């Protein structure tokens, strides 16, 4: 086979084999981490500090993004609906969009950069400086000590951060409608309640739980796979953000297709 055909095929083959190998190693890591949850004495004391780092410390950036998302959604909705649909549908569009889509997804993508990269860099540094090996020497289960509290913190705190972001996004959209669109509060609330379903909130919670598991899990995986010193730490952090963001978007489509 000519070189101009064989080389691309070889590159694609190596990439496919490498990707499948990474998936296999990831499932092995996550299965072992699930088994490590029985060591509560190891991961229990670290859960609340990790919840503070993953969740509480992420609130400001999540609320900042949600605020301006709500403002933009309100303005764009009024522009789109001008002259065709009653203006109170601005509340409908802002509420539905923030709850079902923009609130969970934008928050998940933001925290993939903030939380995922942080976890990957932290664990990657521990790996290349042999601190992970030291834990094994001291008879500590590294997965129970490093992975379990971070993943559980992501699962528990992501829904809280997402719900706060959704609430702030809707409030900022309401305030924008009052100040810039000549709408009244009853009009905005009428649109907000028009197509609201309690299931919408549960849908956002389900998505955010899966996003939390993905962001923290991918960060832990690439952090523990780090090699080659500082260069490897940077590469692991970059891979974490890219892969976690891709999985979040795939999960977003999956949950929409299966639950809506």
- State the chain's mean pLDDT as an integer: 84
181 vs 63, higher pLDDT: 63
Would you say residue 53 lies in a domain? no
Would you say residue 123 lies in a domain? yes
Alpha-carbon gap, residue 220 to 236, rounded angstroms: 10
Residues 6+ apart with CB under 8 A from 146: 123, 126, 132, 135, 220, 224
- pLDDT value at 3 more than 60: no
Q: What is the average pLDDT across 171-198?
A: 83
* pLDDT at site 133: 78
User: For residues 98 and 169, is the Cβ–Cβ distance under 8 A?
Assistant: yes
Local confidence band at 6 (pLDDT 50, 70, 90 cut-offs): low
User: For residues 116 and 215, is the Cβ–Cβ distance under 8 A?
Assistant: yes
Structural domains counted in the chain? 1
Residue 242's Cβ-count burial label (10 Å; 0-12, 13-18, 19+) is middle
* pLDDT at site 166: 92
Would you say residue 90 lies in a domain? yes
SS (H, E, C) 104-142: HHHHHHHHHHHHHHHHHHHHHHHHHCCHHHHHHHCCCCH
pLDDT tens profile 229-256: 778 888 888 989 999 999 999 999 999 8
Would you say residue 24 lies in a domain? no
- pLDDT value at 162 more than 90: yes
* pLDDT at site 215: 92
As a 3-state breakdown, the chain gives helix, strand, coil percent values, each rounded to 5, of 90, 0, 10
How many Cα atoms are found within 13 Å in the side-chain-facing hemisphere of 189?
3
* pLDDT at site 168: 92
Would you say residue 15 lies in a domain? no
Tally of residues, the chain: 260
* pLDDT at site 210: 92
pLDDT tens profile 12-56: 666 677 666 667 777 787 888 788 888 888 888 888 999 998 888
Would you say residue 43 lies in a domain? no
Would you say residue 89 lies in a domain? yes
* pLDDT at site 19: 65
Range of the domain at 239: 59-259
Would you say residue 232 lies in a domain? yes
- pLDDT value at 100 more than 80: yes
């Amino acid at each position: 086979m000519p070189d101009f055909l064989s080389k691309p095929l070889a590159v694609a083959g190596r990439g496919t084999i490498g990707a499948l190998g990474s998936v296999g190693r990831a499932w092995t890591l996550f299965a072992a981490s699930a088994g490590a949850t029985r060591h509560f004495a190891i991961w229990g004391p670290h859960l609340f500090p990790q919840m503070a780092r993953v969740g509480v410390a992420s609130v400001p950036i999540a609320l900042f993004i949600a605020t301006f998302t709500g403002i933009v959604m309100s303005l764009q909705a009024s522009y789109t609906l001008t002259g065709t649909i009653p203006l109170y549908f601005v509340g409908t569009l802002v509420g539905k969009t923030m709850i079902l889509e923009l609130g969970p997804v934008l928050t998940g993508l933001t925290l993939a950069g903030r939380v995922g990269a942080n976890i990957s860099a932290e664990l990657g540094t521990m790996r290349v400086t042999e601190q992970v090996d030291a834990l094994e020497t001291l008879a500590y289960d590294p997965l129970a000590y490093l992975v379990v509290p971070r993943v559980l913190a992501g699962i528990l705190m992501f829904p809280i951060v997402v719900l706060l972001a959704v609430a702030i996004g809707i409030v900022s959209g309401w305030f924008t409608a009052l100040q810039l669109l000549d709408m009244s509060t009853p009009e905005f609330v009428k649109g907000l309640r028009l197509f609201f379903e309690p299931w919408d909130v549960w849908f956002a919670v389900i998505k955010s739980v899966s996003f939390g598991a993905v962001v923290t899990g991918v960060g832990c995986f690439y952090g523990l796979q780090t090699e080659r010193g500082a260069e490897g730490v940077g590469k692991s952090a970059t891979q974490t953000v890219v892969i976690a963001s891709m999985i979040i978007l795939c999960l977003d489509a999956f949950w929409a297709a299966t639950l809506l």
